[in-house]
Structure 1
Amino acid sequence: MFQNSDIGVAVFDENLLLISSNPTFRDYRRLGDDQAGAGVSMRSIIEATLTNMSVPAANQHAIITTDLARLASNRTDRIDFDTGSGEFARITRDTRPNGMVVETIEMPSKEKPQATDGYAGAHGTSGISQRKLMAALENMPDGFAVFDSSGVLMAFNQRYLDMSPHIASHIKVGVQHEDIIRAVHRSGAVQLDHIDEEEFVEFATRQRLSPGDPTHDLLKDGRWIRFAARLMSDNSTIFTLSDITESKAQEERVIASDAALLRRTRQMEQSLEAMPTGVIMFNGEQRMVTCNTAYREMLGFPASLLKPGVARETLIENTKTLGLFDEKRMEESHNAYNSSLNRTDHHSFRYYMADGRVIQVHFTPMSDGGSIVLFFDITAELEVQASLASYSRRLERSNAELQNFAYVASHDLQEPLRKIEAFGDRLLTKHGEHLPEGGQHYLDRINDAAGRMRQLINDLLAFSRVSSKERKLEEIDLSAIVAGVVSDLQVRIEETGASVDVTALPTIEGDPTQMRQLMQNLISNALKFTREDVTPVVSITASTQGGVDETGMPVRTCTLVFSDNGIGFENRFAEQIFTIFQRLHGRSEYAGTGIGLTTCRKIAERHHGTISAQGEIGEGATFTVTMPLKQPKEED
């Protein structure tokens, strides 16, 4: 249409300032977009054309003066000129009654027109036809309408009609501007934000008689229309309607994008402020971009110093001036900081502050030469670590002393115990028949007490050895271990008529002595805590599975399950039974020292495993032992 026409078209207002032009006009005039923008004068356009055609400056003034003089004295003027490439083009200007000028440039011709001697030659007076002028207006991309001084519609193009389909039947030459405005309001096609009809008419009339800035109106079909008016010297008004839907959508996308960016920026700033970690960012020139409150408080800088753009070196110098670092370790802190400036990897170092705090600094370089630096106050963490280390050392000493005491005391108790047992046996052998009945009873009680004491000492020694004795790790066939234990307990098994059912057991890495002790204690307990008139049944099963160790590394483990149909126990005692010397029954009911299950747990833990128990009164008990098939390497 207008933009793609092979006729160049430009419209000037009564002051000869450009209103609009098409690409063909600019091509034939040899103008750039910046030389043919709205508001450029006709004189400037003629001058730019002559300059671009290499017309000598000395000749330009005469040509321009002649051109404009001809235009002032003729309503229609024609100029035939040589384009400089062997072709001739015709410029035709038509001055409208309202002072507006329409200029067209027709397709160049190889034939030189009559009475023509180039751009600076003679000017014809025949004028462009009305048909061509109207064709140019019809091809304009915008809606175009002219109202006279009394508001009567004088002319309009098809585009003006197309852009106003809701009032198309009201748009006719001779119709009053007010009638068209009322039709617009009544159609409801324009979103007017509750403006009533009279207010709308009053506003539109003001726009016609005294045009202001263009308005942007949203139609209910979703289109945006730019409505502009220009008052001419004869008080007629030219209205243009432009469809700006796409540019408006682009504007809204930009606004939405800017709003989203602003939201993200605010969220980042809020997140930065909420962080307990100190944060500061530097650009490639080593100047501060931003920092948070935690950084200011952690380092003790005044707020007046921490302004965007402050040099990194200024901050480090102020740590000296303000005495922020511990004097004894100041050099260490400064050296760590300065060395970070030349590094391009992630690294960390520590600041030792004057008030005794220790700050861990994590330095992260950026690709543009800047950096993000994080600051963590690890003072409390170091104090906890020191306290734990001290506690651990005291606990190790206490455990060592306790184990040593148990071992030494057990050995030392052996000697007097042997004396008691020896003299008791001698007394019984030599003088037993001479003892009165009460004396015999007391001697039996002494021997029973000595036997229980020996068992207690032996159990204490066994428990002490689990922790104090170095483990001798080797491959252990658990089936063979259990078979040996069952053989040792054969007398007890035969006395009770018990059955011990064992499935295939795996081979594991461990201390064979301790593994045997673990199996012996669990199977012995199953044979000890039996119900009257119920044949004891002990079941031992095993399974292997994947798992993780205490460091989170994958490991293969085995699970051993020891079940019996004995007296059982209440589940609320499931942990208590593993405490040393804790018994659920008196010695008169069931013999024992209360050390056996404690030893089992110690053995399981020394093999990086666990042991747990479940029971039900009158139904029996189940003990579950889990440990790795291969023992992890001990740390030095």
Structure 2
Amino acid sequence: MQDSSWKSLSLQPSVAQLEQIFEFSSHLVFIYNWDLKKLIFVNNRVAEKLGYTPEDIQQMEGSILTFVEHPDKEGFLKEIHAEYESLEVGKKVEFVCKLLHKNGSIRTLRNRSMLLARDSPEASRLIMNVAEDITDTLEREADLLKKQYQFNEAEAIFKCGTWEWQANRKGIEWSEGIFKIMGLSSEEYKDKTISRRFYESFIAPEHVKRFADYTVQVLAEHRPSYEIEHRIINAEGMVKYVTLQGHIYYDEQGRVQRIMGMLADRTEIITYQNELERRLTALNKSNRNLEQFAYVASHDLQEPLRKIIAFGERLAKKYKEQLGSEGQFFVDRMTGAAQRMHALIEDLLAYSRASRQTESYASVNLNEVVKNVLEDLEVKIQEKKASITIDDLPAVEAQSVQMHQLFLNLIENALKFTKPGTTPKIAIQVRKIVPYEAPTVGRINPKENYFEFIISDNGIGFEAEYAERIFTIFQRLHGRAEYAGTGLGLAICRKIVEAHHGFIEAQGKPGEGAKFIFYLLVTQPNTP
């Protein structure tokens, strides 16, 4: 059939055929009798998308315009009516409106309306409106915009961006985050795509060769991932420390097909690390100077104190008669004060040593340590008639001198704070911490092995509110007249335990005794 004869054919479908065609359409079809202001036809898609059956529309007197949702509904309908009134054959009107679904939800329709040709001038004006339900599309677009916004916000917060390269595309696609790191506006780059050489032009000169060599090596070895730290000088002239990461996808022939990755700006982190390291170095230097000063000052104080004590004792013995009772009292007070000062200096020296590693770590048999401690305290134990029970103690990696000091202070503390008229009972218990207990203990590393030690007594105890205070330097819960001491013993214990990467705590009740619980590593970190 020739084109001319094809064009000469005139298709004049029947009303029934038109209805079948409209029912076949995936869009909503409305036909208005404009003269009567009434719908005369709707296809089944209207019921599917809006919930209104032909019977419902008939009850609405052939109109669903009453269900239009708009902030200025009256003005909106007047505008549409004006468009319809001036509509000519061959022209169309397009608009978007929201309609209330029968179930109460809101659906958004994109409409295209056209005036149908009339068979005669007397025939009614018919307007056909074809509508597409775009509600789900708009929701997806809004959701995508929301996710893109959240993604951009996340990139801004974490100072990073993503990139992608594909074999069938030209260039590397950057996310908004990378453009910000590079000090560039993404709007100036078509499809947010740049070349590899463009990025490499920002790399700091001293890192260019290392960057290029690493890239060649990764591809030559067909590595699945890519990661390199380097510096860049961005478009604003700012030096940035960045980490470039990527995951590489190869085809069956080993050719690179796709690389997806991330660029992270680590400038603030590196700056903070450098500043922390600088401050830590300064702090360590200051601490060493303070420790040296404390040690030297304390050591130099020992000699005059020893002389005061020695001459005081000689004075008391040789000139006892001449001094009289009052003079003897003054000499005793002077000698006692000097002895307390001597003890305080000794404890300060011990406290200073506890924060320094004066000897290397070695395997220490704690049974031997406690045996030596009990020999040192033999006189006090006999005076108090104390009963001491001890578990079989393990060997730990530690400094033996400090372990001796630790157990000496804790046992001596238990002997000191006894109840009058009561035989002191002291128990030293130990057990190994199993891994699943680590979370319940709290301050220990679940990846390390620990021993838990408990030194308990039946002494005077203390209020729970003082459980932390008693480890503070120079803190005393009782007067010197009641219980002698400098207030440094438990502070030294904490220093020693913490120097061995453990921790110590205390529990007690007034009149019921006290418990000192401490945790020591089986093996110290970074030791062979």
- Given the two structures, how large is their TM-score scaled by the length of structure 1? 0.55
Paired AA for residue 352 in structure 2: S
Superposed, which structure 2 residues align to 1:251-330 within 5 Å? 269-275=148-154, 276=156, 277-284=160-167, 287-288=170-171, 290-308=173-191, 310-313=193-196, 315-316=198-199, 325=202, 330=204
1:298-317 superposed Cα distances (whole Å, 9 cap, x missing partner): 21222333322734146337
Whether the 8 Å contact between 2:226 and 2:248 is mirrored in structure 1 is: no
Superposed, which structure 2 residues align to 1:491-502 within 5 Å? 491-502=379-390
What SS class does the counterpart of residue 363 from structure 1 fall into?
Answer: strand
2:240 maps to what in 1? 358
- Given the two structures, how large is their TM-score scaled by the length of structure 2? 0.65
Q: Does 1:625 align with 2:504?
A: no
**Correspondent of 2:448 among 524, 531, 555:** 555
How far did 1:536 drift? 1.9
What SS class does the counterpart of residue 334 from structure 2 fall into?
Answer: helix
Distance in 2 of aligned mates of 1:266 and 1:338: 37
Q: Does 1:347 align with 2:347?
A: no
Q: Percent identity?
A: 35
Distance in 1 of aligned mates of 2:151 and 2:283: 42
What SS class does the counterpart of residue 364 from structure 2 fall into?
Answer: strand
Whether the 8 Å contact between 1:288 and 1:309 is mirrored in structure 2 is: no
Question: Unpaired segments of 5 or more residues in structure 2?
Answer: 7-13, 17-51, 63-134, 220-224, 250-255
Superposed, which structure 2 residues align to 1:592-611 within 5 Å? 592-611=485-504
Distance in 2 of aligned mates of 1:477 and 1:271: 59
1:512-566 superposed Cα distances (whole Å, 9 cap, x missing partner): 2211111110010011112223322212111102347999673221000011122
Distance in 2 of aligned mates of 1:268 and 1:290: 18
Superposed, which structure 2 residues align to 1:509-528 within 5 Å? 509-528=397-416
2:335 maps to what in 1? 447
Whether the 8 Å contact between 1:286 and 1:312 is mirrored in structure 2 is: no
| Superposition RMSD in Å | 3.8
Distance in 2 of aligned mates of 1:261 and 1:511: 67
How far did 1:398 drift? 1.7
How far did 1:469 drift? 4.6
How far did 1:455 drift? 1.1
Whether the 8 Å contact between 2:373 and 2:404 is mirrored in structure 1 is: yes
What SS class does the counterpart of residue 300 from structure 1 fall into?
Answer: coil
Distance in 2 of aligned mates of 1:269 and 1:399: 51
2:306 maps to what in 1? 418
Whether the 8 Å contact between 1:566 and 1:619 is mirrored in structure 2 is: yes
Which of these two proteins has the greater Rg computed from alpha carbons?
1
Paired AA for residue 630 in structure 1: T
Cα 1:361/1:503, change in 2 over 3 Å: closer
1:583 maps to what in 2? 476
What SS class does the counterpart of residue 523 from structure 1 fall into?
Answer: helix
Whether the 8 Å contact between 2:186 and 2:192 is mirrored in structure 1 is: no
Corresponding pairs, count = 393
Cα 1:295/1:437, change in 2 over 3 Å: same
1:72-109 superposed Cα distances (whole Å, 9 cap, x missing partner): xxxxxxxxxxxxxxxxxxxxxxxxxxxxxxxxxxxxxx
Cα 1:278/1:580, change in 2 over 3 Å: same
Question: Unpaired segments of 5 or more residues in structure 1?
Answer: 1-14, 16-40, 42-148, 152-189, 201-254, 320-324
1:314-352 superposed Cα distances (whole Å, 9 cap, x missing partner): 6337x5xxxxx5xxx732354455456533442122233
Superposed, which structure 2 residues align to 1:180-219 within 5 Å? 194=56, 196=58
Whether the 8 Å contact between 2:242 and 2:263 is mirrored in structure 1 is: yes
Distance in 2 of aligned mates of 1:561 and 1:150: 98
Cα 1:626/1:193, change in 2 over 3 Å: farther
